[in-house]
């Protein structure tokens, strides 16, 4: 007899062929399959007779099959299935499918059927191309309703998943409900069985929304319990108290060639006050592009090292790590600090204003060992590197502050390791753990920050340095391309430089050879046809770290006038002389990413420009509305709010990065839902901190924590 814990291998109709695919999706039991939720719906709920009134609309219609045939096109190796359906009023519908000859077996002449799809009109017939279908005698599963669409993979279709779930759904009555009854009643939330019934096969749109809200609340409730537990756990640890040396900080800031913004001063003060506490800091510095978070981190490091402790700074790439090393070396050139850069490619140290390179020549381990020894003995005050810094052979004498830059670019598993390792890192003091400062140059809307970074304190850099001129941004249609090329020529002749950015050709996390080919072809076109008089550099993700750095260094040293790059161009890379950035196929990027690219220019004194090249239309009015937001504002937080509303948090952050389910991500902009979930989580933990009175919730939280990491 089947129950929710039955292995899918034991379910009739699920053959070994399907089992292999289901297991790849992480589905092993009946319960797993029932909790596999749709990501969207086709609305075929409008059941109507054939009529001109419904042409162009998605409808469901039914009738008798009066003709059915397969046409084989041998030259094109294609089969076209044609079925003529006649409705009760005598109107006829021609339905067509491509390469699905088996459909004919289901609908012999004389049988009745339901077809769902977009209604067209073709001569004397109404028409549908590739409609959903089922026999009229069957319950509405694939037609005549809001039809669920699931994430599919090779060998498995939404239709197949629907049939399995429809059969197994009654077993959902036995799934334990982890949401306490009092919470369900308080917020008028469905029980788990009703929720799953309405999510898989909704009666109407209102019940579907209510069911989705219930699942979103449940996931957000778990998120908030977990973040509050992390916050409490972190707050119970001991850390080194680092006294705020006002005289030291004042002297350093007065010697800077610029004045700190009010936002920088406020964030710095918040961090320095955190460092004075006996509990470890766990703070997120959330800054706009170019808002100056590096100097805030520098002041934090200055205070820590001056008090006799060590600092570790982690960046997600070697290029960024090396840039930080050079920046911090310059900022601390008048201080008696020893700095080191430790990555797989570099082992560098500097101190007292001079820089020496410890060559990574064979035997490499001896060079690395020398640097590791200097870190362990405390000779090195500040270590900068990639996540190589948290490897087990890296030991510190008295590490008191860890700064993680661009943390959102580390994957979920890496982020989990980074935070847990700052607690477990060998810092020379078994009683204390280091203070933790994470930084991001992606302005995160406050809603998302509360939900996703709920265990961290927040410092916001929402103010640009006074000497920064707003970047002039223009959307350019194909007709205006030549004019922009001429403008770039005039800028380069004035001694400035330019970026040209291409999107990924294939939508994937890392670049493919297709992307590399595309950027190489564009580099060749621009070099030979458009700008033969200038020198052009080329940057893409398939280059090694040293090669990337060489390209960026050459660009910075003006060996190239124009840099052609895929979207690999580093966030945080500083080229003050670059005043123009062209972004090809801008409509393919999210607003937040476009804002990040735009931040590659505007770092010097000259006026800078961002040109968004858009394809597909000569008329600006027909371009995506969201692109026009880029013309209107340079405010990253305002842009990120728009991005969140337009694309949803799943796209904004990347669901792959978050580990959160689609339904939860879609509801992250629901501030009320997040506040309610957080209030209930706080109340629950206050009254039952170990969740002993809520064993189902405790078990769900354990599984939840295994699949997701929250800062």
Quick one: pLDDT at residue 411?
Answer: 44
Q: Are 398 and 251 contained in the same domain? A: yes
Whichever domain contains 87, its CATH number is: 2.40.50.140
Q: What is the DSSP string of 112-177?
A: EEEEEEE-EEETTEEEEES-EEEETTS-SSSSSSEEEE---BTTB-HHHHHHHHHHHGGGGGGS--
**4/165 Cα distance (integer angstroms):** 12
Peptide bond into 363 cis (omega under 30): yes
Task: Classify 500 as helix, strand or coil.
Answer: strand
Q: What digits encode the pLDDT tens for the residues 274-285?
A: 999 999 998 989
Residues 22 and 112 in one domain: no
What are the φ/ψ torsions at residue 163 (nearest 5 degrees)? -60, -40
pTM of the model: 0.72
- Is the residue at 205 inside a domain? no
Whether 459 is covered by a domain: the verdict is no
Categorize the per-residue pLDDT at 359 as very low, low, confident or very high, splitting at 50, 70 and 90.
very low
- Does 42 or 514 have the greater pLDDT score? 42
* 564 within a domain of the structure (yes/no): yes
The verdict on 408 and 334 lying in the same domain is yes
Instruction: Answer yes or no: are the C-beta atoms of 673 and 189 closer than 8 Å.
Output: no
For 193, other C-beta atoms within 10 Å of its C-beta total 17
pLDDT given at position 365? 52
Q: Are residues 7 and 67 in the same domain?
A: no
Residue 107 within a domain: yes
Domain that holds residue 140: 46-144
Q: Is the pLDDT of residue 450 over 90?
A: no
Count the domains in the chain: 4
User: Could you give the angle at the alpha carbon of 244 between the alpha carbons of 243 and 245, nearest 5°?
Assistant: 105
End-to-end, the C-alpha distance of the chain in Å comes to 43
Which uninterrupted H or E stretch holds 342? strand 338-342
Q: Tokens at residue 426, please?
A: 């060998």
Do 26 and 163 lie in one domain? The reply is yes
- Within this chain, do residues 58 and 131 fall inside the same structural domain, yes or no? yes
> In terms of domains, do 34 and 50 share one?
no
Q: Is the pLDDT of residue 657 over 60?
A: no
> What are the pLDDT digits (tens) for 311-341?
999 988 887 888 889 889 989 988 999 999 9
Q: What are the tokens at 213?
A: 């809200």
Same domain, 555 and 497: yes
- Least confident window among 260-274, 404-418, 620-634: 404-418
692 part of a folded domain: no
CA atoms within 13 A on the CB side of 603: 22
Domain closes at, from 608, 633, 658 = 633
| 518 and 605 share one domain | yes
With pLDDT > 90 as the criterion, what percentage of the chain qualifies? Answer: 49
25 and 101 assigned to the same domain: no
Spatial distance between the Cα atoms of 105 and 115, rounded to a whole number of angstroms: 16
The last residue of a domain, from among 633, 668, 698: 633
Tell me which of 590, 618, 633 is where a domain ends: 633
670 in a domain, yes or no? no
| Residue 433 and residue 485 in one domain | no
Range name among 33-47, 385-399, 651-665, 668-682 with the lowest pLDDT average? 651-665
Residues 304 and 413 grouped into a single domain: yes
Q: Tell me the per-residue pLDDT of 546-569, one tens digit each, with 9 for 90 and over.
A: 788 788 889 988 999 999 998 776
Of residues 447 and 135, more confidence is placed in 135
CATH classification at residue 371? 3.40.50.300
What pLDDT, in 10s, does the model give residues 181-213?
Answer: 999 999 999 999 999 999 999 999 999 999 999
User: pLDDT tens for residues 567-588?
Assistant: 776 555 678 899 999 999 888 8
**Across the chain, what does the average pLDDT equal?**
85
Task: Quote the CA–CA distance of 704 and 192 in Å, as a whole number.
Answer: 17
Domain assignment present for 342 = yes
> Does any domain span residue 404?
yes
Q: Are 171 and 4 contacting, i.e. CB atoms less than 8 angstroms apart?
A: yes
């Amino acid at each position: 007899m089947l129950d929710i814990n039955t292995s899918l291998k034991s379910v009739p109709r699920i053959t070994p062929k399907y089992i292999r695919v289901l297991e790849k999706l992480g589905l092993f039991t009946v319960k797993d399959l029932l909790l596999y939720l749709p990501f969207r719906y086709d609305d075929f709920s409008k059941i109507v007779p054939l009529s001109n009134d419904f042409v162009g609309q998605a409808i469901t219609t039914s009738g008798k099959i009066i003709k059915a045939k397969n046409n084989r096109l041998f030259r094109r190796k294609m089969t076209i299935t044609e079925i003529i359906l006649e409705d009760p009023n005598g109107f006829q519908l021609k339905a067509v499918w491509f390469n699905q000859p088996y459909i004919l077996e289901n609908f012999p002449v004389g049988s009745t059927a339901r077809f769902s799809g977009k209604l067209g009109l073709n001569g004397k017939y109404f028409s549908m191309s590739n409609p959903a279908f089922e026999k009229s005698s069957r319950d509405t599963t694939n037609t005549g309703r809001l039809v669920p669409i699931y994430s599919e993979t090779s060998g498995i279709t939404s239709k197949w998943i629907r049939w399995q779930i429809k059969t197994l759904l009654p077993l959902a009555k036995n799934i334990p409900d982890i949401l306490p009854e009092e919470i369900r009643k308080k917020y008028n939330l469905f029980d788990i069985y009703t929720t799953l019934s309405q999510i898989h096969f909704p009666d109407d749109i209102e019940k579907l929304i209510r069911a989705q809200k219930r699942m979103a609340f449940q996931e957000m409730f778990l998120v908030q319990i977990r973040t509050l537990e992390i916050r409490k756990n972190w707050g119970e640890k001991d850390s080194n108290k680092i006294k705020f040396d006002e005289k030291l900080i004042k002297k350093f800031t007065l010697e800077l060639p610029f004045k700190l913004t009010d936002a920088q001063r406020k964030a710095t003060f918040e961090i320095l006050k955190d460092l004075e506490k006996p509990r470890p800091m766990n703070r997120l510095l959330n800054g706009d592009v170019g808002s100056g978070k590096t100097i805030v981190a520098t002041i934090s490091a200055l205070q820590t090292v001056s008090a006799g402790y060590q600092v570790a700074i982690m960046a997600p790439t070697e290029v960024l790590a090396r840039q930080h090393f050079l920046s911090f070396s310059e900022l601390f050139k008048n201080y008696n600090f020893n700095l080191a850069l430790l990555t797989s490619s570099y082992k560098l140290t500097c101190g007292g204003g001079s820089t020496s390179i410890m060559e990574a020549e064979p035997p490499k381990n001896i060079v690395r060992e020398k640097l590791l020894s200097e870190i362990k003995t405390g000779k090195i005050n500040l270590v900068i590197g990639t996540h190589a810094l948290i490897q087990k052979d890296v030991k510190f004498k008295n590490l008191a502050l860890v700064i993680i830059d661009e943390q959102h670019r580390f994957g979920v598993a890496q982020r989990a390791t980074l935070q847990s390792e700052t607690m477990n890192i060998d810092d020379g003091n078994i009683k204390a753990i280091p203070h933790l400062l994470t930084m991001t140059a992606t302005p995160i809307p406050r809603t998302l920050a509360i939900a996703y970074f709920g265990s961290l304190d927040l410092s916001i850099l929402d103010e640009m340095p006074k000497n920064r001129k707003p970047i002039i941004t223009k959307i350019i249609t194909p007709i205006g391309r030549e004019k922009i090329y001429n403008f770039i020529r005039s800028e380069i002749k004035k001694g400035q430089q330019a970026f040209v950015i291409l999107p990924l050709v294939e939508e994937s996390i890392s670049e493919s050879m297709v992307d590399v080919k595309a950027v190489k072809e564009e580099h060749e076109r621009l070099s030979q046809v458009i700008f033969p008089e200038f020198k052009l550099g080329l940057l893409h993700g398939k280059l090694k770290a040293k090669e990337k750095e060489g390209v960026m260094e050459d660009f910075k040293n003006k060996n190239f006038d124009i840099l052609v790059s895929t979207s690999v161009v580093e966030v945080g890379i500083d080229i003050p002389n670059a005043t123009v950035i062209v972004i090809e196929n801008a409509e393919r990027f999210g607003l937040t990413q476009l804002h990040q690219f735009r931040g590659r220019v505007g770092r010097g004194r000259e006026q800078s420009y961002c040109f968004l090249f858009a394809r597909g239309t000569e008329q600006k009015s027909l371009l995506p509305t969201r692109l026009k937001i880029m013309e209107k504002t340079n405010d990253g937080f305002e842009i990120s709010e728009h991005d969140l509303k337009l694309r949803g948090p799943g796209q904004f952050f990347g669901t792959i990065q978050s580990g959160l389910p689609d339904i939860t991500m879609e509801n992250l902009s629901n501030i009320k839902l997040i506040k309610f979930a957080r209030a209930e989580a706080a109340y629950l933990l206050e009254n039952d901190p170990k969740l002993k009175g809520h064993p189902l919730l405790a078990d769900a939280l354990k599984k939840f924590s295994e699949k997701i990491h929250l800062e």
